[in-house]
Amino acid sequence: MAVTLKDIAKKVGVHPSTVSRVLSGKYDNFNVSEETRKLIFETVKKFNYAPNEMARNLRLQKTQTIGLIIPDILNPFYAGMARSLGIECEKKDYSFIICNTDEIQEKEINFIQMLKRRRVEGLVITPVQESKDHFKELIEENFPFVLASRYFDDFETNAVVTDDYNDVFKAVEYLIKLGHNRIGLIRGRKASSAIQDREKGYKGALAKYNMQIDQDLIVGNGCTIEGGYKATKEILNLPERPTALLVSANVIVVGALEAIFEAGLSVPDDVSVVGFTNMKSTPYLSYPLTSISQPIGQLGKRAFDLLFQHIQSPDEQKYKKIILPSKFSVGKSTQKALGS
C-alpha cells in the first residue's frame, strides 16, 4: 500500500528513527550528516512519502481534529458558523467533523460519544437542551468544549452567544416607538436558551413601556419554515390582529411572510416585520427586511478561539461566556403604526 517511513529508511539504508528525526526537522543540522539528510529528502520526494497521521496521532496523543455538533447545516446560520470555524481550523492545521442533530437529543449524545471515541480534541456544540447531564460529565472530565449560540444558565461552561435579550429588547423598543402596541412574537424552539432569552427581551421591552403582555401574541415552537407559517397564521387569525411581528429565528421568517401574504396582508402597511437574518435579501420581499443581524462569523471564530485555548492549556481552564452584540438594521419591512 502506501509508502511508510520504514520503506524510506530501508531504501536509504538507515534506521527509521533517523528518517523520523530528519523529517521532523527538530534536530536540524544536528546529529545527522548533511549527506544523509539530503538522501532522505530525495527519497521521500521520489516515493512521494506522506506520513501516516493515524500512527503519528496515536503516538503523539492528538488528532488535530475537533467536532462540530449543530442542529442542521442547511440552516444558513449554522452553515455560517461552520464556515468560519473551518477558516480558523485551517489556520491551526485542524480539521473538523460535522454532525447534525436535527434537534434530537439522543443524536447529540451519541455524536458526543462517537467523537470522543475518535479522540477529537474538543467540541463546538449548539446543544439541543432537552437534557444536560452529559455536559456535566464533560466538565468533570475537563473535556474541552464550547457551546455556541446557546448556553445553560445553571452551570458554567465555555460559551459564545449573541446578546439575545438586549438584541430583541432593542428591536421591540423600536417597534414600540413606532407606535405599535400589539406586537406579536413568533418564537423559535422553546427549549433553546437563545429563544428563551429573546422572549424575555420581548417581555422586558413591553414591561419597560408598561405594556400588557398578551400570551396570545406569543406563538410558535420550532425552527422550520412550516412552523413559522402555522404560528403566523394562528396569530393573524386573532380577533385583534397584531400590527407588528418579531420573528425570533432566521428561517421561520420565510414561513411568516408566506402566511402574511396568503392572508392578503402587506408588509409593512398591514404588519411590520422584524426578523433575524444576516442576508441582504429575503424571500417574498423586494426590499430589505428590518432585522437583527447576528455576527455569525464571529460566533464561529470566537468559539474556536475559546476551544483552542482550552485544548492548549487544559489545566488553567476558566470558563468564559462571550456575549456578542448583533446589529439592528432598519429595512423597509417596518413602519409607523396606523394612527400614531
Partner DNA sequence: ACCTTTTCCTAAATCGGTTTCTTGACAGCA
Partner DNA sequence: TGCTGTCAAGAAACCGATTTAGGAAAAGGT
* Residues near a second copy, by CB under 8 A: 1, 50-55, 57-58, 61, 63, 65, 72-74, 76, 79-80, 82-83, 86, 95-100, 113-114, 116-119, 225, 254, 258, 261, 279-286
Neighbours of 23 (CB within 10 A): 16
Contact 47, 8 (CB under 8 A): yes
CA–CA separation, 139 and 161 (whole Å): 19
Among 45, 48, 59, 140, which residue interacts with DNA (rule: CB under 7 A)? 59
Neighbours of 42 (CB within 10 A): 12
What's the closest the beta carbon of residue 274 comes to a second copy, in angstroms?
17
Q: Which residue, 178 or 285, has its beta carbon nearer to a second copy? A: 285
Q: Which residue, 141 or 153, has its beta carbon nearer to DNA? A: 141
What's the closest the beta carbon of residue 37 comes to DNA, in angstroms?
7
CA–CA separation, 66 and 81 (whole Å): 14
Give the CA distances from residue 36 to residues 12, 24, 279, in Å, rounded to whole numbers and listed in that order. Answer: 8, 14, 58
Q: Which residue, 48 or 313, has its beta carbon nearer to DNA? A: 48
Name which of 46, 49, 59 is nearest 5 in CA terms.
49
Cis peptide before 268 (omega within 30 of 0): yes
Name which of 17, 46, 20, 22 is nearest 36 in CA terms.
22
Residue 6 touches which of DNA, a second copy, none (Cβ within 5-8 Å per kind) = DNA
Q: Is 10 in the site for DNA (CB under 7 A)?
A: no
Q: Which residue, 18 or 149, has its beta carbon nearer to DNA? A: 18
> Which residues sit opposite 100 in a β-bridge?
70
Residue 329 φ/ψ, nearest 5 degrees: -120, 125
Among 10, 11, 24, 277, which residue interacts with DNA (rule: CB under 7 A)? 24
Q: Which residue, 83 or 321, has its beta carbon nearer to a second copy? A: 83
What's the closest the beta carbon of residue 114 comes to a second copy, in angstroms?
8
Q: Is 48 in the site for DNA (CB under 7 A)?
A: no
Residue 83 touches which of a second copy, DNA, none (Cβ within 5-8 Å per kind) = a second copy
Residue 96 touches which of DNA, a second copy, none (Cβ within 5-8 Å per kind) = a second copy
Indicate the residue type of 277. T
Helix pair angle (5-12, 16-24), 10° resolution:
110
Residue 99 touches which of DNA, a second copy, none (Cβ within 5-8 Å per kind) = a second copy
CA–CA separation, 20 and 8 (whole Å): 10
Residues that bind DNA (CB under 7 A): 1-2, 4-6, 13-18, 20-21, 23-24, 26, 30-36, 49, 51-52, 54-56, 58-61
